[in-house]
Every structure is written in structure tokens, then in C-alpha cells.
Structure 1
Amino acid sequence: MNQQNFWNQRYADEYYAYGTLPNDYLKEKSADLRAGKILLPAEGEGRNAVFMAKLGWEVEAFDQSTAGKNKALLLAEHNDVKISYTISDVENIRYPENSFDALALIFAHFPGEDRRIEHRKLSRFLKSGGLLIIEGFSKKQATFQQLNPKSGGPRDVGMLYDLEELKEDFSDFEFIEAAEQVVTLAEGEFHQGEASVIRIFAVKK
């Protein structure tokens, strides 16, 4: 099954696979930020996009899942906000360079052989002084998956994050926070329980 079909199948049900509430780390980091324009890659069913729109941000999101987009727009309508949502994979997405104030990669995992290329591409869309917020599963998540499959993350270890590799991917950023830690996730059906994640908060130089 290709990635697009996988995600369309996961998002096919009426319920929201990862819930309708925002990711905790994004919520924490955005609390004191002045609203601007934010890009949310691999946004799925829209929980983070809708949350940022409610804070007054101009939101651009993309994902390869049509089912995800449909549910994201429905969630936005229910919350009386507007988001812009494009159907695309990261390889083919296009935005003007230096056009976003923030980039949030929330469990946005790309194939290992393309990861650095795609991360650097996405970072070019961000203005100098723009903010980068990342939460994703670390390489150690493979062990947590064995203990609890519902803890989440790609089964392909090559798609899991390594902190030093991420720092190299975003080498033109100043890192305010960059840590690997164990957290307890409670995000819908598929992010439940203890998980090993990497969290990054950085500013583009």
C-alpha cells in the first residue's frame, strides 16, 4: 500500500484518528507567539491547523490525503475558522521562499533518503527570524512500538528521527530547545501511551 492510500484509509472513518485537540508541544510553544503565517506539512485531519487558526494565524497546510483534507475543512467549519489546505506530498509542494513566519513539523516523517532534502526545502519557505517547531518520533520509538503498538510512529526505522541528523538538516537555525525525551501521548486512537520523541524549537538565522 502506498503512503497516500494508507493515510486515506486511516482517515476514512468519521472519528478523528489523532483527535481534534492540538499537539501539546505546539500548543505550549505557540502560547506566547505573535500570530503570523504558518505552514503545517503532513497536517492530516487538521487538528493543529484549526488550533493555530483559532489563535489568529494565517494557516497553510498540506497533506497527500484527500480524506484528511475533507475532515480538516469540516473541523475548521465547526470551529468557525478558515484554513488553506493543499493536496500534495512534500516532494511536489511549492510555496514562495521566505514567505512564512513559522513552520511546524508535527509527526511529519519523511523517507530517510529524502529527509534532508525535504527539510531544507521546507526551511527555505521560512523567513529569516522565522520559527521552527518540531515534534516527531525518535529512533528509540521502535522499542516503544514493540511494547505498545498504539504509541504511534512509522514502522520504518529509517523514517524515525535522530536528533543530531535533525540539527544538521536545519543547520541554518539557532536551536532554543532540542531534546529527545519520553512523553505520554494521548492523541486520538493512534498516539496513546509512552513514546520517545524529539522536540525542537528553533529560529532561522
Structure 2
Amino acid sequence: MNTWDQRFQGAEYVYGEQPNAFIKDYVYYLKDSPNIAAYAEGEGRNAVFLATAGHTVTAYDYAQSGLQKTEQLALKHQVTVQTKLADLLLDELPVNKYDAAIMVFGHFPAKQQQTVIQKIIDSVKPGGRIMMELYSIYQLPYASGGPQQLDFLYNPLDVLQWCQAYKIIHFFTGEQIRHEGMLHTGLAHTIQLIIEKS
């Protein structure tokens, strides 16, 4: 059992049952994307939100317990979410399969972040969109959630560079208020991006 599996064991949704505020506020950018992948999706709050908005959603996560809670949350909201157990560092992902993809606060070592993000971009069809909110390297002093190690946070300049080959619809880095369960709460420093694959 990995640490994420342990974190999601309890009945409580540690990041809450409501979608991430960035995904909720910008979901209209995905209105023409029927088939969406949600990566590093944890307990399913964003996947279920997208499913209730009428999308076909596949949630990927490294923790079986998180995927079980995703299925429970989907049942509660009377929607269906496909779940797939996957280690985004090691496993192959589909290529050119989805109309869009999201990832909210997926934590990976700095030297592997670009590889993971590229795999996610590659999983989307040409013309598809990718939305992410990530904790920036400036998050550490905020103590409002996210990894306590600099190596698992993202440098906004690196992320911008990784997006350069695509159409950048939205790119933001700075302070955001986040109230997501008991583990993400208060003022945070994040990176947001929406890109369109050419």
C-alpha cells in the first residue's frame, strides 16, 4: 500500500467532495470535449463534477482506495466515472484518445514533471485541451497544503516553457484561496494553465 492509498483509506474525503475552484470556474473551456481524462485524480471530486456536467470521464490514480472513493462519489451523484489504476511515472498512457485532460495538484519529482505532463498532453487528440492547477515552488511558506518538499513543486517558468509548443489559452501564477477538504485550506500559490493541442 502506498502513502496515497493510506491517505484515502478513511471515509472522509480529505480534499473534499467539491471540484477544484479553477476547474469549476473554467469548465466552459471543456464544453466541446465529450471524453475527458482526469489524471492524478485522487478521490474523484473533479471527475464526478465533469461527469455531472455531461462528460464521459476516466479517472486515473495511483491509489486503489482513491479510485474506490471516486466510484462511491459518482454513485452518490448518480453518474458513471471509469477508473484506472495507473502510476503516471511508470505506466504508458493512451495516445490521441481523449478530447481533453485535467490534472489538479499532481505531485511528481521535479526531474520527472515534464515527462508526466507530456504524457498527459500526448493522451489528448489534436485540437483537444489540457487544464491543470499545480502548486508552485513559492507554495512552501504558505502552509496551506501541497508537498512540503521543494522537489515536488513546480517552477512556473518551466511549466510555461513546456507549454510553448501549444496554444496557450490561459496561464496564471500567483495567490489563490483554496478550501478543499482538510488538507488544502487557505491562501496558496498556484500555477494554472489551459492549453490547446495543435
Q: Determine if the TM-score, normalized by the shorter chain, exceeds 0.5.
A: yes
The equivalent residue for 2:165 is: 172
With over 3 angstroms needed to count, the CA separation of the structure-2 counterparts of 1:160 and 1:5, relative to structure 1, is same
The equivalent residue for 1:195 is: 188
CA contact 1:35–1:57 (8 Å) conserved in 2:
yes
The equivalent residue for 1:15 is: 12
Deviation of 1:35 (Å): 4.1
Q: Check if 1:163 corresponds to 2:160.
A: no
The equivalent residue for 2:23 is: 26
Partner of 2:92: helix, strand, or coil? Answer: coil
Q: Under a length normalisation based on structure 1, what TM-score does the superposition of the two structures give?
A: 0.91
Partner of 2:2: helix, strand, or coil? Answer: helix
- Higher alpha-carbon deviation: 163-172 or 39-48: 163-172
Q: Check if 1:153 corresponds to 2:146.
A: yes
Q: Check if 1:77 corresponds to 2:75.
A: yes
Cα distance in structure 2, aligned partners of 1:203 and 1:159? 25
Cα distance in structure 1, aligned partners of 2:35 and 2:26? 15
Q: How does 1:107-186 map to 2 (within 5 A)?
A: 107-145=105-143, 151-186=144-179
Matched residues, number? 197
Q: Check if 1:5 corresponds to 2:7.
A: no
Q: Under a length normalisation based on structure 2, what TM-score does the superposition of the two structures give?
A: 0.94
The equivalent residue for 2:38 is: 40
Cα distance in structure 1, aligned partners of 2:137 and 2:89? 23
Q: Quick one: which amino acid aligns to residue 108 of structure 2?
A: F
Deviation of 1:60 (Å): 1.1
- Higher alpha-carbon deviation: 161-170 or 191-200: 161-170
Q: How does 1:63-102 map to 2 (within 5 A)?
A: 63-102=61-100
Cα distance in structure 1, aligned partners of 2:70 and 2:101? 18
Determine what percentage of the aligned residue pairs are the same residue.
31
Cα distance in structure 2, aligned partners of 1:119 and 1:168? 12
Q: CA RMSD in A?
A: 1.4
